[in-house]
Amino acid sequence: MSITSTSPDRRPDLRPTGSGRWADPLFRAIALAAGVSVLLVLGLMIGSTARDAWPVFEYQGFVSFFTSSEWNAGSSRGEFTGVYGAFAFIYGTLVSSAIAIAIALPLALAISLYINRIAPRRFRQALSYTVELLAAIPSVVYGLWGLLFFSPVVLQPISRVLIGTFGNVPLIGWLFEGPARNVNYFIAGNVLAIMILPIITAIAREVMAQTPEDQIQAAYGMGATDWEVMRRVIVKRSFPGIVGATMLGLGRALGETIAVAMLIGGQQRWGASLFFSGQSMAGHIASTFQDAAPETVDALIAVGVGLFVITVIVNVLARLLVWRIGRVAGDAAL
Amino acid sequence: MRTFTRRAAVLVAASLLVSACGGDSDAGDPTAEAVDESATTTSGDAADGDTDDEAATGGPSGALDGAGATFPTPVFEEWIFEYADNVNPGASINYQSIGSGGGIEQFLAQTVDFGSSERVLAEDDLDLAADERGCAPIEIPVVFGAVTIAYDQPEIDELVLTGDLIADIFERRITMWNDPAIAELNPGLDLPDKEFIPVHRSDGSGTTSVFTKYLDADTDTWTLGEGTEVQWPSGTVGGEGNEGVSAGITQNDGGIGYINQAYALELGLQTASVINSDGNAIRPTLEATSAALSAIDIPDDFRFDILGVGGDGYPIAGTNWIFAWECGYDDETAELLIDFWTWAVENGDDLALELGYAPLADDVKPDVLAAIERVNAQN
């Protein structure tokens, strides 16, 4: 007597059907192919870009490529005649992204707390939709709007006030050195902040909503104020998620292309001031590849590889940070 | 907008005429009559000049693909529209404005029927091209454009600059509007005590190429070399495209930038006069650009630069070439290529001028037309 014959009657809809016999393995194969194809595409991209970029690294020197700020595009085919130092673009990418995070993160946290705890219940859904709507605007529209409206009408007057106020303060004065042009790191950073706001807000709001209600009520029960509950319970519990959200936002800011190219200053130089007109890595690639000679196209691909390296470093750092915070939080919980 | 409306009207009229003619055999049909009526009125509205009688001409049919410089895109598009609508309705011509570098690459890779660029092919590109295709590429100049020095200072009517001063301003050796060297050249002007903010293209661009080629060749003080991008000094500001440059000029008090004549005319920016090699201060007008062209010798292979312009010519101007092959097209494509560009050279001047470009001078046209005829000649 076999085991199967003694098993209780199955419900009819679980009985193996004709299609079930091949549908499972088929789905498994499709899922596997989908999973593998991601790795394959990524591997192909890394492989082919690294192959194209390699001669540039060899010609310019790997270290020199990342640390020199002289970029003089050559116009040759098959040999290298230009000078390719990408530091100015790396600096522009990092500074504009840092400005974006510095503005977007506090704003996103405040919006998330407002939506979760403070806003009247019937407005919450509408409000979070509105924030997410910002993500639907194409980045070229952000660029144009920034160039023709946001920069001259809003940001340039603010820049003048900031430069006037902090420009001569010892220790931080160099960050606020003027004069500011119509497009610079600060302008690009501000528009980037608006562009990454929805992604940070959406995740932070979701994470904060997961805070167990009994912990919140317990805190209130012990006499905590609204502010203390938000700071000590909600934000503290959500910290790893907020770091993750920030890193996603940062990833978008680092890679953002068209809007930054239009707003960062369009100049192959770098300067310490937040109001310097410079260029970012992605922006430089987008701006110049159309008219680039073959050797310069390779150099631009090398910039792309550099951007990839930086993005990977940022992501690894973020993982480490989340892991470390998780551990610390875990210790504290014990 | 106006031309578009006219075109749309012509299109509607043409399609209605076709259907109306089709309906004519059905003489008693009332709908055919109605259509006929409306067709007459519409075409009556649309016929404000030259379009109707050309509509029937016809010519070789087929499709052409071209790619290249962004600088002549407006005039190429108008030519293509006009040609495909009114001269040869069987033709479908597609021009992708992907930049001069891309135009050269696509042409050499033979993925397009013609390329376009603001620079001629490099010597080793010519060899490479001949090896790949088995025959020489033809480089044909079709349209010219000046690069103007634009600014936005309503109180300054007519700024005059020399090439050396332009080099000094864009390399930040002269940083103030009321610099003595500028005041000396502009005695009648009350120059403001403002900083110059030089605005340049941040994207790789033929406009930059023309501008830096002029400064490199015709001035003594320029050090940045020439190319579609150069490393501008700190203190300047870049703009993405013509819009970005014009925003940089108008939004930075004291801004001064170089911009394609066609766009400067369109945007209504103020432009500086530039002193040419004969010492004449020339306003950047289309006539001055044409004068510059008649002043230079154009060699038989059409590989030339517009440099050292004197007389009444405005000194900063560039050429747009198209590239085609002497062999390897199928008959239909070659015929269409020749027909379209012959038409553009013979009949495209008014459209070019309207858009702010300078057409070929009449005495060069026979040579250019002869060059166009060489397309596929070696097949």
Q: Which of A291, A295, A298 should one mutate to test binding to chain B, selecting the residue with the greatest count of B CBs within 10 A?
A: A291
Please report the residues numbered 79 through 108 in chain B whose beta carbons come closer than 8 angstroms to any beta carbon of chain A.
Answer: 98-102, 105
Please tell me which residue of chain B has the smallest CA distance to A285: B203
Contact A289, A211 (CB under 8 A): no
Q: How many domains does chain A contain in total?
A: 1
User: Which tokens in the block code for residue A53?
Assistant: 């970029």
Domain that holds residue A104: 87-280
- Look at residue B301 and tell me whether its pLDDT is greater than 80: yes
- Look at residue B144 and tell me whether its pLDDT is greater than 60: yes
CATH number for A231 = 1.10.3720.10
Q: Is the residue at A114 inside a domain?
A: yes
- Look at residue B52 and tell me whether its pLDDT is greater than 60: no
- Look at residue A55 and tell me whether its pLDDT is greater than 60: yes
Distance from CA of B120 to the nearest CA of A (A): 13
Cα A279 to chain centroid, rounded: 17
Q: What is the mean pLDDT of residues A172-200?
A: 93
- Provide the pLDDT confidence category of residue B81 given band limits of 50, 70 and 90: very high
Residue B66: per-residue pLDDT = 94
3-state secondary structure at position B248: helix
* CATH 3.40.190.10 residue ranges for chain B: 39-143+320-372, 146-294
Cβ within 8 Å, pair A148-B247:
yes
Q: What is the mean pLDDT of residues B127-148?
A: 90
Chain B residue numbers touching A183 (CB-CB < 8 A): 237-239, 244, 247-248
Residue A150: per-residue pLDDT = 96
Please tell me which residue of chain B has the smallest CA distance to A178: B235
The CATH code of the domain at B39-143+320-372 is: 3.40.190.10
Q: What is the mean pLDDT of residues A269-283?
A: 94
Q: Is the residue at A36 inside a domain?
A: no
Of the partner residues A266, A269, A289, the one whose CB lies closest to the CB of residue B240: A266
Cα B111 to chain centroid, rounded: 23
- Look at residue B28 and tell me whether its pLDDT is greater than 50: no
CA proximity to B93, closest of B103, B82, B102: B82
Distance from CA of B235 to the nearest CA of A (A): 8
Please report the residues numbered 234 through 253 in chain B whose beta carbons come closer than 8 angstroms to any beta carbon of chain A.
Answer: 234, 236-240, 243-244, 247-248, 251-252
| C-alpha span between B232 and A3 (Å, rounded) | 83
Average pLDDT, chain B: 83
| C-alpha span between A284 and B204 (Å, rounded) | 10
Residues B146-294, CATH architecture:
3-Layer(aba) Sandwich (3.40)
Cβ within 8 Å, pair B204-A181:
no
A36-45, B2-11, B56-65, B342-351: least confidently modelled range: B2-11
Q: What is the mean pLDDT of residues B294-318?
A: 88
Alpha helices, DSSP H, located in chain A: 3-6, 18-60, 62-67, 87-113, 121-133, 139-145, 156-166, 185-209, 213-221, 226-228, 236-255, 258-263, 281-288, 294-333
Q: Is the residue at A60 inside a domain?
A: no
Q: Is the residue at A21 inside a domain?
A: no
Please tell me which residue of chain A has the smallest CA distance to B206: A291
Contact A182, B237 (CB under 8 A): yes
Chain A residue numbers touching B70 (CB-CB < 8 A): 290
Of the partner residues A152, A266, A293, the one whose CB lies closest to the CB of residue B244: A266
Chain A residue numbers touching B205 (CB-CB < 8 A): 291
- Which one-letter amino acid corresponds to residue A182? N
Residue A21: per-residue pLDDT = 77
Indicate yes or no: pTM above 0.90: no
Contacts of B74 (CB under 8 A, 6+ apart): B262, B355
Q: Is the residue at A93 inside a domain?
A: yes
Q: Is the residue at A296 inside a domain?
A: no
Number of A–B residue contacts, CB under 8 Å = 114
- Look at residue B19 and tell me whether its pLDDT is greater than 90: no
Residue B132 touches partner A, C-beta closer than 8 Å: no
B147 DSSP β-pair partners:
B260
Q: What is the ipTM of this complex?
A: 0.81
- Look at residue B114 and tell me whether its pLDDT is greater than 60: yes
Reported as a single tens digit per residue, the pLDDT across A191-229 is: 999 999 999 999 999 999 999 999 999 999 999 999 999
Cβ within 8 Å, pair A265-B105:
no
Distance from CA of A226 to the nearest CA of B (A): 45
